[in-house]
Structure 1
Amino acid sequence: MDFLERFNFVSLLMAPSFWIGVATVVVVTLVVYWLLNRLLAVLHKGVQNWRGNHQEANHRLRVILFDMLNRTSKVLLFIAAFLFSLRFVALPDRLFGTISHAWFLVLAVQVALWLDQGVQSWLRHLLYAPGSNKNPVTLVIVGMLLRALVWSIMLLSILANAGVDITALIASLGVGGIAIALAVQTILSDVFASLSIGFDKPFEIGDFVVFGDVAGTIEHIGLKTTRIRSLSGEQIVCANAILLQQTIHNYKRMQTRRIVFSFGVAYSTPPEKLRLIGELVKNIITDVGETKFDRAHFQAFSQDRLTYEVVHIVDTADYNRYMDIQQEINIRIIEALAEHDVELALPSLIVKAPFASGPGEDAPQHQAPPTLN
């Protein structure tokens, strides 16, 4: 700094207009900063006292707005107050462009902070709300994508406002993204499969599913894999993309069971008793309860029995309860047939013992006990 520049600087400091301008900037900055904080406090109070027609939705929105207002940066408020105060003093022309860019920078960063907090609060409410059964992995992925989108748009808008040509930058990011996607396409396929599971919900944690030779309870739905606890106790880990290619039977969502079973009576049963059996079975199923009778018919002449086919619909998806009901039906059928002197079919088994029989003699027949199929 030469003598002339130092003289001009000292002259500027000694000028009353300079100190008046400094005082004006300080006073206006403090007043505006105080007013902005008061306005923020009024908004907080208004959000807390806000009431709507739908209490649950209103509470959710109120919490999200309250969290967003809490994310207001005091530093950015002070900078905004300072930039506003500069309008009351004389500045060189070359600074006006810089101040306008600074205004946009402060506004863009603050809006990004609000939106980022809004996304976090919304996802937290979905994840921890009472009775929520949302997939946490899906919510985390969606949250990361939304937050990355918010900050990317903020950064690109700031660069564009500063005069930077962002077209080439976006193009290079697109090419780089394609290259990365090709390199990790297997991982990305599982990640997007996890998103699909979260949105479409073919199954959830705790559901009992069967696909292929796998049967078990969903224990964890991760970013890349789903873990299933099988009936035999071991944990089965399956990639999400491969899992969605399977035909999955979700038994937890089954509301009723259609049961078909059969039993056989002896060929010696007279026709009048054969006509009674269907009605007997109907009465038994109706009396047992928790199931609805569909039909019971003399179906076929089998090799060693007259076969009856019975259909009923159990009103529960619980397998153990279904087995209790079926067991009671079977026992009552045996009791009813015995009460009407109807014999169950006795399958015959012929065993030949050459050492115990002479030429031309057959071994005695052994009959198996009656069974229900």
Structure 2
Amino acid sequence: MLENEIWGNSIQNWIISILIIVAAIVIVKLITLLSKKVLKPLTDRTKNQLDNIIFYSLEPPVKFAIILLGIWIAIHRLVYPDSFVKVVDNIYRILIVLDITWVFARLFSGLLQVYWGRRSNGQNNKMLPIIKRTILVVVWIIGLVMALSNVGVDISALLGTLGIGGIAFALAAQDTVKNIFGAFTLLTDKPFNIGDTIRFDSIEGTVVDIGIRSTRIMNDDKRIITIPNFKITDSAITNISSEPMRRVVLNLRLTYDTTAEKMNEALKILKALPQKVENVSSSPSNVVALFTEYSDSALGIKYIYYIEKQGDISGVTSNMNMEILDSFNKAGIEFVSPTRTIYLQKDESENETKDNDKASEAKVDSLK
């Protein structure tokens, strides 16, 4: 019975080939059990991560290679037409190259995941998916090209076709490509981080996310503005959060009846105010109070102070304005009010005309 033939091969040969495939599967199961019980705990005990990466890179491709080897042995011990054997051999050449490519892809992926993730901060981790995908695409393209070249495919013609298709694709997706490179620029140059307040063009707000295609900013109205990355990289960016202090300039206007003594008192009050208000720099070099001008209707004072980085700009500005108002009121120093005085002067000709009219009226009365 075992000598009976099916498709040119005896039943005994078919059974042996099937047993070879089953043996390959059993070997894979044993390797899986060995890896789980022995190799994986052994690599986890070491401080060096390189052995973990190598184990991660080799385990699945080695299992796949054993299955391929078992199937290849099982098929080649049977009798087939030459055309079928040639097709099987070509498929195996492609699969072997792709299996080796799989090893390199997992190796690069593991190295990036461990060493890049360990040495980068939270924001730089956003670059990891971009770089990882790029490297994996390159590795798999190289592996596929080598696999096709291994079975006699004309790579030059294929690359020419891919080049024309790549140009068409690049033209259609140029905005997307610009945004991806914009994200790469933002995450490497780091002109700002997530949580920073920035200003560019007419937009000002807090950065809440930096994505592959766009960056999201929350403005003062608590609205999210989504901006393509390439527009940000093409603009001049002011990172407000990176400034060590915020400079505030006030132009104060006092009335013209302010005496020199009162003016000196006003300047002394202004120079002493930073010591009274929290989060205002009290360093003498950061406080400027000068009597600067005689304008048409007021005496001008330029007052400059600096808000420290940790201070709330709006709140500190309000507190300073309140202290200036209160201190000046207590000292009897008055701000100029926006008033206008108009002086009217009558012409002499009008006065003479009125006198002549009165004389004429007197003559008429006397004739009567």
Normalising TM by the smaller chain, what interval?
0.5 to 0.7
Q: Which amino acid aligns with 2:300?
A: T
Corresponding position of 2:299: 306
Higher alpha-carbon Rg: 2
Corresponding position of 1:48: 44
- Structure 1 CA distance, aligned partners of 2:130 and 2:110? 15
Q: Which amino acid aligns with 2:123?
A: N
Corresponding position of 2:143: 154
Shift in CA distance, 157/13, structure 1 to aligned 2, threshold 3 Å = same
Corresponding position of 1:182: 171
Shift in CA distance, 235/29, structure 1 to aligned 2, threshold 3 Å = closer
Shift in CA distance, 348/231, structure 1 to aligned 2, threshold 3 Å = closer
Identity, % of aligned pairs?
A: 21
Shift in CA distance, 134/349, structure 1 to aligned 2, threshold 3 Å = same
**TM-score, scaled to structure 2:** 0.67
Shift in CA distance, 28/251, structure 1 to aligned 2, threshold 3 Å = same
Corresponding position of 1:195: 184
Corresponding position of 1:365: none
RMSD of aligned Cα (Å): 4.9
CA contact (8 A) 2:287 2:306 kept: no
Q: Which amino acid aligns with 1:327?
A: S
Q: Which moved more, 1:68-77 or 1:289-298?
A: 68-77
- Structure 2's unaligned 5+ residue stretches are 348-368
Give the SS at the match of 1:146: helix
Corresponding position of 1:315: 308
Q: Which amino acid aligns with 2:41?
A: K
Shift of 1:301: 2.2
Q: Which amino acid aligns with 1:45?
A: P
Corresponding position of 2:340: 350
Shift of 1:359: 7.0
**TM-score, scaled to structure 1:** 0.66
- Structure 2 CA distance, aligned partners of 1:243 and 1:81? 56
Paired residue total: 334
Shift in CA distance, 229/135, structure 1 to aligned 2, threshold 3 Å = farther
Give the SS at the match of 2:281: strand
For the pair 1:333 / 2:334, whether they are aligned, the reply is no
Shift in CA distance, 123/317, structure 1 to aligned 2, threshold 3 Å = farther
- Structure 1 CA distance, aligned partners of 2:179 and 2:301? 50
Aligned with residue 133 of structure 1, among 94, 105, 123:
123
Shift of 1:127: 8.1
CA contact (8 A) 1:284 1:332 kept: yes
Shift in CA distance, 39/190, structure 1 to aligned 2, threshold 3 Å = same
Give the SS at the match of 1:111: helix
Corresponding position of 2:206: 217
Q: Which amino acid aligns with 2:299?
A: L
Aligned with residue 65 of structure 2, among 45, 55, 76:
76
- Structure 1 CA distance, aligned partners of 2:264 and 2:70? 96
CA contact (8 A) 1:255 1:317 kept: no
Shift in CA distance, 246/31, structure 1 to aligned 2, threshold 3 Å = closer
- Structure 2 CA distance, aligned partners of 1:139 and 1:26? 40
Aligned with residue 296 of structure 1, among 270, 288, 304:
288
- Structure 1's unaligned 5+ residue stretches are 1-5, 53-57, 361-373
For 1:63-97, what per-residue CA distance to the aligned partner results, in whole angstroms no more than 9, with x for missing partners?
655543554453322334676999xx9x9xx9xx9
